[in-house]
Structure 1
Amino acid sequence: MMLFIKIANPMYIEILRHGPFIHMKKIPESTEGDMVIPAHFGPKDPSTYTEPEKEKVALDSGLELILIESLDNVMYNNIINYESAKQIWEKIAILCEGKEEVRSNQRRILVSQYDGFMEKLKEGITEVFERFNKLVNDLQLHDKYYEAE
């Protein structure tokens, strides 16, 4: 999925990391009664966006469409109320990978399987290698690496 997103538009990765583009404008210092409100930045009115700004904002919608189109009905029902591609992506990650506690438990189970790895009865060398290779790949997906000795 990540490869497809990178190929579709390199800016999509930035949207997944930082959220949608929100164009800001400088709001000058003002006063309300006796209170002085210092100059600050706030969201720009969408009706005043320039064409390049409109294109950047539309990127989030394009990425949302890609993400939504890639989901089955069950996953779609879990993300239907999210308003940005970043929120959808984060929910998909939780649904697929679980929260950090779940990932930590999975990592411990994989390490235990690695430590106790043995050939099964009547298992050929090819099957042993495939099983071991899958275990090592799963460990790497969970940020656990072993040095070759």
Structure 2
Amino acid sequence: SVSTNIHALHALRLLGKPAAGTSAYVEANRNPHGLWDNEKWHVSWLYPTAHAVAALAQGKPQWRDERALAALLQAQRDDGGWGAGRASTFEETAYALFALHVMDGSEEPTGRRRIAQAVARALEWMLARHAVHALPQTPLWIGKELYCPTRVVRVAELAGLWLALRW
């Protein structure tokens, strides 16, 4: 699967190991907009895209991807969140924030302003919907049927909210 290769690439890069073949595979599995949407384990394109951005940027301080950044910013909904389905979800908004966090570090000032504006809108959306003890309900993960690994998703949601709060 694409995400398995993305995770392998990230691990190899973290270890400082050569990963040209895996990197080429990950790059080749983008859609025409520069995003990753051919995922076996998750309904949303935001999950593999966030992880691919992190993997490709790992160990490359000047890494930039204008095509993916433009597509990600364009996909933000009018309400401030992100979602592959009919509505924004907290989980998918968190994944978008993970990718934007990685991209922000190597962007020019104009790009950083665009990212900051998107993050501010996402934070407003997240704060309006955040419930301290609520567990995620949207089944975006694929097994034999759709499911939601609540603890995994909740950690992603809280990490995304934390990133946005600290922006």
Report 1 or 2 for greater relative contact order, CA contacts < 8 Å, sequence distance ≥ 6.
2
Instruction: From the CA coordinates, give the structure whose radius of gyration is larger.
Output: 1
* TM-score, structure 2 as length reference: 0.31
* TM-score, structure 1 as length reference: 0.33
